[in-house]
Amino acid sequence: SMCCGKCRNVCSSCVEECDWQCEHEGSCSLVCGAPCNRFPCNKRCNKFLRCGHQCPSVCGEHCPSEEFCIQCCSDSVRDEIVDMIEFKSYGEHDIDSDPIIFLKCGHFYPISTLDGHMELLKAYEVDTNGNFKDLKPLASGLDASKPKACPNCRSIVSSVKRYGRLISFYRLRSLEMKHMIRFNIEIQKYSQVFEDTDDAGKLEKVVDKIVRLENDLKMGPMMKVYEACAGQDVDVKPPPVDSLIKLKMLYAMYAGKLVRESRDNWYGKASKAYDEAIRLADASDSRKSGSQLRINYSKLMLTWLANSDVKPKVISL
């Protein structure tokens, strides 16, 4: 379905039921926005075009118009080179053993050509006979891969169900990157507000926004799809630890600025945020962040605690 949001906002992934199904491999049980969890089918589509001839595409894909019927098509369509390995034309190609994928841009290729071009084996494991046998984890295997384009016109390949596992992952990864860019912009903005104001009312409003921002960070596009799929067969990376550390440090700094005495609520909130951020920094071996957090926390304690109470707490850090 079409996203109705503005370009500057992070799109919401589609959580409607995935419609990729066929009689040989069954259906995908996940939502539309998730990387599909069924195997591709290699059989030729058994449906018929409006001209009455069998569809030349692969089972499970949308059938093309009759202008691509192998019996009825024009000479220019029949002479189109579709096999990028043997350079065979559409008319020469055996579509029964190697059906055709028709792209939105108007170009078309056999599955043997496009499977290699799309790096399909990065998404599925195959046996010695080339049959699909298992799903591969995507988060690690496709980190360095980019969305694939048509070999002819370089239009991005989309809306091909056979490659839905790959296409959906690339789309989710792009949304996650946009989500993190927006998050970093918000962090910079609130950091500047911290430097510019001492007004308690403004500070408290920003603290509320930081709490919401932390929830937004944890509930990124991938996590929303994960929850929509009830956690099945969806790889989700946790939020970047350095981003969580920055957020908790910022919260602690704001709470520290609102402290009026050592026993008030803001001191407790600042201490808790520093403790959590220090644990995250230590667990991720972020020494620079851990050192800065300890310095800031020590300054807070020196300001509001008795000297006799500060020393053991600082040592424990």
Of 302, 278, 306, which is closest to residue 290 (Cα–Cα)? 278
Tell me the two tokens of residue 89.
């034309």
pLDDT digits (tens, 9 = 90+) for 124-181: 999 988 899 999 988 766 766 788 999 999 999 988 999 999 999 998 888 888 888 8
State how far the Cα of 182 lies from the Cα of 191, in Å rounded to an integer: 14
What is the pLDDT averaged over residues 212-235?
81
What are residue 217's phi and psi, to 5 degrees?
-60, -45
Cα(51)–Cα(63) distance, integer angstroms: 12
* pLDDT over 90, % of the chain: 54
Q: How far apart are CA 268 and CA 263, in angstroms?
A: 8
Q: What is the pTM of this model?
A: 0.81
- What is the spatial distance between Cα 99 and Cα 114, in angstroms, rounded to a whole number? 11
Q: Give residue 305's pLDDT.
A: 82
Cα dihedral 185, 191, 197, 200 sign = positive
